[in-house]
Chains A and B, each alone.
Chain A
Amino acid sequence: MTTKNIIIDSSDQVPSFNLLRRFPVPRNFKVAPQSRIEKGRTWPAPAGATRVKAFDIYRYDPEAERNPRIDTFEIDLDDCGPMVLDALIWIKNKVDPALTFRRSCREGVCGSCAMNMDGTNWLACTRFISDMSPSATIFPLANLPIIKDLVPDTTHLFAQYEMIEPWLHAETPVPEKERLQSPEERSQLDGSYECILCFCCTSGCPSHWWNGDRFLGPAALLQAYRWLADSRDEAKEERLDTLEDPFRLYRCHTILNCTRTCPKGLNPGKAIAEIKKMVIERDS
């Protein structure tokens, strides 16, 4: 074992050692009856396939009156692109056209194909199949209501995003041209404006699992910071008033699963710490 196995330098590093695959909790720990996962079927690789890779994939069909299940799909690696998204598209084209997932840009800029692969959240289009474990698993983003298969309902997450009012608040008259920023002021937004709202972080945050109804979660809070840090915004006080709350902001316990999982390499955990510091500096 080298230090590379235990010290993670950037979020795209796939962990190479595996002490625990999952937390030692019962499979149905705090799981509602309709969410309990049952065994599904196996879809074997086409005859003649030599390099076969199996994926355990979460399925849920709202029209079938049954619970979610895990189907095993065997794919032919010689016939398939290199990314996990390629594998999903291969399955949809060649095996089961009913397999449902969101995808668009296939290059990590749209955030549509965020899902849970081998137990962590990432984008299917930027995760190599070769980085998947021998018993590869694909689940929808964790802790969200499921519409179908790998498609979660993100209504609540976008409502939380809306709550931080992600637009410019300015009372001063609109200047003739644009509202100017110095390069230094503009650089304050680096690391937060790049967020693609894939919600890998919020879905991977244990605090949001337990208190997601009231805790805003890392994605919304990173964007809250993005507007707090904007030199052109004139509503810092009001924004901090909205955030200063035992749940909305302070349910963040600095677990930092968010920073570990961000597919864009951003740092929601640090942004939240900056907000907490702003609140303290304002109130002292």
Chain B
Amino acid sequence: MEPEPAITKILSRPRPQSPNIQIYRPQLTSVLSIANRMTGVVLSLAAVGLVLWLSAAAAGPEAYGAVRGVIASWPGQVVLLGCTFAFFLHLCGGIRHLFWDTVRGFELRSIYMSGWAVVAASVILTMAAWIASLFLAK
């Protein structure tokens, strides 16, 4: 019997796939895209929390007091702060996508300017919302 040619052996083995996310450098483009996805997930979960809060309010003072206690605790406040930031990041990112849908703002410089604007606006709006709710709403 003929010995098996080397090439058959090579071709029978699956080729490796070169790495992708394991090595590709995080850039503003990809980081904001994944952040938009992740904040979307966070907001979906936050919507459940919102329903719980409203249900508690409808159920009566006792239930509402319990939920309010959870929200007022410091882990609750951290989660609420995270949700606020997620809301604004997702909102600003969504507006950026609306502009892109009209084929505007695609020059690389514009992409980076709008990207950092989204980050800055989300931070400022989060801070403004918290300052307003902590000090002005008293």
With a cutoff of 8 Å between Cβ atoms, the chain B residues found around residue A143 in the complex are 17-20
**CB atoms of B24 and A204 under 8 A apart:** yes
Please tell me which stretch of A6-14, A83-91, A96-104, A180-188 contacts chain B, meaning at least 4 of its Cβ atoms lie within 8 angstroms of it: A6-14
Please encode chain B, from 41 to 52, with 1 for each CB lying within 8 Å of some chain A CB and 0 for all others.
Answer: 000000000000
**CB atoms of A146 and B108 under 8 A apart:** no
Q: Is A145 an interface residue (CB 8 A)?
A: yes
- With A120-B24, A143-B20 known to touch, is A32 a contact of B109 (CB < 8 Å)? no
With a cutoff of 8 Å between Cβ atoms, the chain A residues found around residue B21 in the complex are 23, 25, 29-30, 206, 209
Please tell me which stretch of A133-141, A169-177, A214-222, A229-237 contacts chain B, meaning at least 4 of its Cβ atoms lie within 8 angstroms of it: A133-141
- Interface bin, chain A: 35 or more
- Residue of A37, A139, A206 touching B30 (CB-CB under 8 A): A206
**CB atoms of B26 and A19 under 8 A apart:** yes
Please encode chain A, from 136 to 157, with 1 for each CB lying within 8 Å of some chain B CB and 0 for all others.
Answer: 0101111111110000110000
Q: Looking at chain A's contact residues, is the secondary structure mostly helix, strand, loop, or mixed? A: loop
CA distance A276 to B108 in the complex (A): 19
Q: Is B75 an interface residue (CB 8 A)?
A: no
CA distance A156 to B10 in the complex (A): 20
- Residue of A27, A145, A255, A267 touching B106 (CB-CB under 8 A): A267
- With A62-B10, A273-B103 known to touch, is A137 a contact of B23 (CB < 8 Å)? yes
Please encode chain A, from 19 to 53, with 1 for each CB lying within 8 Å of some chain B CB and 0 for all others.
Answer: 11111010111111011010000000000000000
Q: Is A248 an interface residue (CB 8 A)?
A: no
Please tell me which stretch of A158-166, A238-246, A256-264 contacts chain B, meaning at least 4 of its Cβ atoms lie within 8 angstroms of it: A256-264
- With A22-B22, A63-B10 known to touch, is A259 a contact of B103 (CB < 8 Å)? no
Q: Is B55 an interface residue (CB 8 A)?
A: no
With a cutoff of 8 Å between Cβ atoms, the chain B residues found around residue A22 in the complex are 22-26
**CB atoms of B18 and A58 under 8 A apart:** yes
**CB atoms of A68 and B101 under 8 A apart:** no
With a cutoff of 8 Å between Cβ atoms, the chain B residues found around residue A137 in the complex are 23
- With A6-B112, A27-B22, A146-B17 known to touch, is A260 a contact of B10 (CB < 8 Å)? no
- Interface bin, chain B: 35 or more
**CB atoms of B22 and A25 under 8 A apart:** yes
Which of B17, B106, B111 has the most chain A CB atoms inside 10 A of its CB? B17
Q: Is A223 an interface residue (CB 8 A)?
A: no
Q: Is B6 an interface residue (CB 8 A)?
A: yes
Which of A137, A147, A270 has the most chain B CB atoms inside 10 A of its CB? A270
- With A10-B108, A60-B16, A276-B101 known to touch, is A255 a contact of B10 (CB < 8 Å)? no
**CB atoms of A153 and B109 under 8 A apart:** no
Which residues of A does B touch, CB under 8 Å? 6-11, 15, 19-23, 25, 27-32, 34-35, 37, 58, 60, 62-63, 65, 67-68, 116, 118-120, 137, 139-147, 152-153, 204, 206, 209, 253-257, 259-260, 267, 269-270, 273-274, 276-277
Instruction: Please list 6 pairs of residues, one from A and one from B, whose beta carbons are closer than 8 Å in the complex, sorted by A's number.
Output: A22-B22, A23-B26, A119-B25, A142-B23, A143-B19, A204-B24
New A-B contacts (17) at CB < 8 Å, excluding given A29-B21, A255-B33, A256-B111: A8-B28, A8-B109, A15-B25, A27-B22, A116-B23, A139-B19, A142-B24, A145-B17, A152-B18, A209-B20, A255-B29, A259-B29, A259-B106, A260-B29, A267-B108, A269-B111, A274-B103
